Chain A
Amino acid sequence: MIPATEKVKINKKDVAKLLGEWSGEFTVLVPSRDEGVVKWARWDGEDASFLDWYRNTIVPPKAIFLPPMEEMFGFQKDKASYRIELPVSSERKQLIFGIRPCDAKALAILDMNFSDAYEDPYYLAKRKRGVLIGLGCANPYDSCFCTSLDSSPNDATNVDVMLTDIGDEFLVEVITNQGRELVAKTSLVQVAAETDEVRAEEAKEAAYGRVARKIDTGSIKEKLLSCFEDKDYWEEVAAKCISCGICTFLCPTCYCFDISDELVKNQGERFRSWDSCAFPLYTKMPMENPRQQKWRRLRQKVCHKYGFYPINFEVIACTGCGRCIRLCPVNWDITQILGNLPTKEQLTPEKC
């Protein structure tokens, strides 16, 4: 049993064994490559070679808790009558190994939406049986900007266990009780020396310094909302956007979803699937569409993340993971927009 105050470490070569140990109780999910696409998938049970090339996934870990498609329930039709059936959901716990701080923080941000007012049973059930083993970044992308959003490449706030790369080993910090239980079970960890802790601190500082992209989020909410009605500004901002769903689908804090039904012969399902405020259909009503124009939809996306969500939940719905910048087909860059907001006379954002 490791005392609470002790930091421990594990040799990188032992990570595969550790995942093997945990595989008894958990379904272990790790970063994996499928045709060059880095995403979260079940560990193949073999090795931890992903540690050699892993920086961050393209599809964020939100896909584990809010999947691109999910069956909400099924139903049988018998003439004019229906019988509704809940899908059998797994009870097995999941261990997500290697989640980055930006993505872990994003899950905490998503929790707020899915537990507010009504609880979302599907998302929350998965969160409850999920364990997060965080892995601090050593090599941030040029698109990363987590340090501007109250986070850092080694922010341990939202994980159960946090690993920091100190060369041949990882420093292992236990964050939650669940994390403590996990680490206590294994004999693959050794007590960390003070030199190890020093190396970890140095690594964290170095990684922090490597995040070159920065934005000033001070009063961003007020600045954005004060130019909310500036149609010319937003039209210019939205000019090169093509209204696809890449930024919203691959954003770890975006959560909009669609609900659709299917009935084939007498068996049917209701699905939930990812949706995007960038699509014109998103707000379409029979007689009108308040966001028919592209500039309105783009304004909604930016203002929701940096304005409305902060009004409701006191946190910016962005963790600076940079996927939207990296993967946008036209290199539309939100940090450029936020760094160049027009100044107007201030309106108070607390409107409702």
Chain B
Amino acid sequence: MAVSDISYRPRFLAGGNVYLPHLAVIEKTVDETHDTKTLHFNFKDEKLRRDFVFESGQFCLLSVLGVGEAPFCVSSSPTRRDHLECTIRQVGRLTRALHRFGEGAEIGFRGPYGNCFPLDFLQGKNLVFVGGGIGLAPLRSLIWNVIDNRDRYGKIDIIYGARSPADLCFSYDLEAWDKDETVNIVTTVDKGDDGWTGRVGLVPMVLEEVAPSPKNSVAIVCGPPIMIRFTFPVLEKLGFTPEQMLTTLEKRMKCGIGKCGRCNIGNIYVCRDGPVFSYAQIKGFISSEY
């Protein structure tokens, strides 16, 4: 198999050079948890603001010029285009710098890169979203995308969990989806606190209890690798086939366009051929290093 043709994906190159970032201005920051923030930003360039398109599941490379650059999924939905959102967890030098930025600060943006959630495949199906921690970020883009085109899809089930109530991201979205009658959402935590009256239990376990039907369904899973590894077997037990399970993978990335070599799993590059993969594809990977 030679490399697949990805020339159909829309590109927004600054100055014709794929490595040049576009400058974007932060309009708002939202504290999700003690170490996670969502940045709302918009391109400085008017034309780009109008022309820019992306799909749910794609990622971008955000930089603080002078500090570094790293991949983040776009957590806002393509159906809500007045600004873009990326959700960032503070883990090192670059993310600390991003967290220090407030309204008016400028960041670099390269993207959108990667493949996306296959909306054609999902259309007409019941969707089961399984998210853990900050893994809800890429799912969130798809969830709002789907809700904004509600009549194209079947049932929507969301099972979302975090380590503790303080680690739940997008609490405002969780509320909105709870209020939405066309959506079933179950929120759980590994360990509750004094104020928590909701479900307690690990996400894979709660998934098994909720037991969504695999009939005409697709499960979209995202979270820490260990959660994904325990969720797939549960879905299989419930009757989902590997083709009915989707996820997005994470890797250390630098170029984001399949050139620098580091994000590969066997012969595929997560930045170029992913980050969205089905479990069927993952099972077929040459390497289990994901």
**Do these two chains interact?**
yes
Per-residue interface assignment for chain A, residues 206 to 236, with 1 indicating a CB less than 8 Å from any chain B CB and 0 otherwise? 0000000000000000000100110000000
Chain A residues near B19: list those with CB within 8 A: 72-73, 121-122, 259, 270, 272
Selected from B251, B255, B266, the residue in CB contact (under 8 A) with A308 is B266
Chain B residues near A314: list those with CB within 8 A: 2
In angstroms, Cα B284 to Cα A292, docked, is 23
Main secondary structure of the interface of B (DSSP, over half): loop
In angstroms, Cα B17 to Cα A330, docked, is 41
- The reply on A75 being an interface residue by CB < 8 A is yes
Interface band, chain A: 35 or more
Q: Which of B59-67, B140-148, B172-180, B190-198 contacts A (4 or more CB under 8 A)?
A: B59-67
B281 touches A352 (CB 8 A): yes
A86 touches B261 (CB 8 A): no
The answer to whether A352 and B250 touch (CB under 8 A), given A117-B258, A261-B67, A277-B261, is no
B65 touches A313 (CB 8 A): no
Q: Which of A81-140 contact B (CB under 8 A)?
A: 81-82, 84, 86, 113-114, 116-122
Chain B residues near A229: list those with CB within 8 A: 288
- The reply on A296 being an interface residue by CB < 8 A is yes
The answer to whether A120 and B104 touch (CB under 8 A), given A77-B65, A304-B264, is no
Interface band, chain B: 35 or more
A262 touches B18 (CB 8 A): no
Q: Which of B113-132 contact A (CB under 8 A)?
A: none
Identify the closest chain B residue to A248 (Cβ). Answer: B261
Chain A proximity of B118: nearest CB distance (Å) = 16
Chain A residues near B7: list those with CB within 8 A: 117
A-B CB pair tally, cutoff 8 Å: 151
Selected from B1, B14, B66, B260, the residue in CB contact (under 8 A) with A259 is B260
Chain A residues near B230: list those with CB within 8 A: none
A262 touches B66 (CB 8 A): yes
The answer to whether A82 and B65 touch (CB under 8 A), given A73-B20, A117-B7, is yes
Q: Which of B49-57, B79-87, B212-220, B267-275 contacts A (4 or more CB under 8 A)?
A: B267-275
A352 touches B268 (CB 8 A): yes
Q: Which of A10-18, A178-186, A250-258 contacts B (4 or more CB under 8 A)?
A: A250-258
Q: Which of B1-51 contact A (CB under 8 A)?
A: 1-3, 6-7, 11, 14-21, 23
Identify the closest chain A residue to B273 (Cβ). Answer: A352
Chain A proximity of B260: nearest CB distance (Å) = 5
Please list 17 pairs of residues, one from A and one from B, whose beta carbons are closer than 8 Å in the complex, sorted by A's number.
A75-B65, A84-B21, A118-B258, A119-B18, A122-B19, A228-B286, A259-B68, A259-B255, A263-B66, A275-B261, A283-B252, A284-B252, A296-B289, A304-B264, A307-B286, A312-B267, A349-B286
